[in-house]
Amino acid sequence: MASSLHIAGIRKVFGKGDKAVEVLKRIDIDVAPGEFLILVGPSGCGKSTLLNIIAGLEEPSEGELLIAGKNVIGMAPAQRDIAMVFQSYALYPTMTVADNIGFALEMRKVPVEVRKKRIQEVAVLLQIEHLLDRRPSQLSGGQRQRVAMGRALARDPQLFLFDEPLSNLDAKLRVEMRAEIKRLHHVSGITTVYVTHDQIEAMTLGSRIAVMKDGILQQIDTPDEIYRRPANTYVAGFIGSPT
Ligand code: ADP
Ligand code: MG
């Protein structure tokens, strides 16, 4: 069963006194179980801060955060059962691909036979079976990204969070990996929030798009609705349609 994500009135203030900066200004977003939501907006608008709050890497200054109906504020990142994929896919360099994928399961003391089976399943899904014995240094950029996704997927998380995972890749690979991420979501059905500042990625990847600017949610809707009925001139300009 996929998990829902409920974000209500989330604020984040960095700094104190006259140096205080409000980076998130009462964000409300509901993500349905199994949905693929895109969070888009210019650099510095607060996208990563919001993802970090969901993941538990930052605490919000105010607001409510429920995963599968359960309050997770104050809960440690490891207990939130979330997998996060960044642009810098930090694989363990001395471990094989198989061990990289299985590491989180090993930490959880999952029995070796169960672990092996899961690594195999994930490798088939990502078409990296032939790479399982290699080390990260023996892989291409795209293959490393696949392994990073495999590692995230192996844990069967409640939520997938992607923070601009493709921004380090060249154009051709980016197109390929977009399709891969779409397929991964399709087969896993895991609720996903995907951050990007790339309009094409935003318009093609998700079922709904949340457009953010200066810590304020401008609009949240399907790509089609956002294109046809942008809420304001900012959204219109960002998506590239006339007002
Ligand atoms: P985005 O991911 O959309 O580019 P971020 O969430 O990384 O934006 O940053 C939003 C704003 O918050 C930026 O102005 C950034 O400088 C600021 N910021 C992010 N993290 C911190 C921090 N730990 N302390 C102070 N300011 C921060
Ligand atoms: Mg960011």
Q: Which atom of ligand 1 is nearest to the CA of 45?
A: 3
- Cβ pair 138, 144 in contact under 8 A: no
Condensed to tens digits (0 to 9), the pLDDT of residues 32-73 reads: 999 999 999 999 999 999 999 999 999 999 999 999 999 999
Distance 59 CA to ligand 1 centre (A): 13
**Pairing relationship of beta strands 21-31 and 5-14 according to DSSP bridges:** antiparallel
**Is any atom of ligand 1 closer than 6 Å to the C-beta of 196?**
no
The Cα 131–Cα 105 span in angstroms is 19
Q: Which atom of ligand 1 is nearest to the CA of 52?
A: 6
**Is any atom of ligand 1 closer than 6 Å to the C-beta of 48?**
yes
220-224: long-range contacts (C-beta < 8 A, 24 or more apart)? Answer: 220/29
Condensed to tens digits (0 to 9), the pLDDT of residues 152-175 reads: 889 889 999 999 988 877 888 888
Nearest Cα residue to 167 out of 211, 130, 198, 199: 198
Q: What is the pTM of this model?
A: 0.90
The interface predicted TM-score of the complex, written ipTM, equals 0.98
The Cα 36–Cα 206 span in angstroms is 5
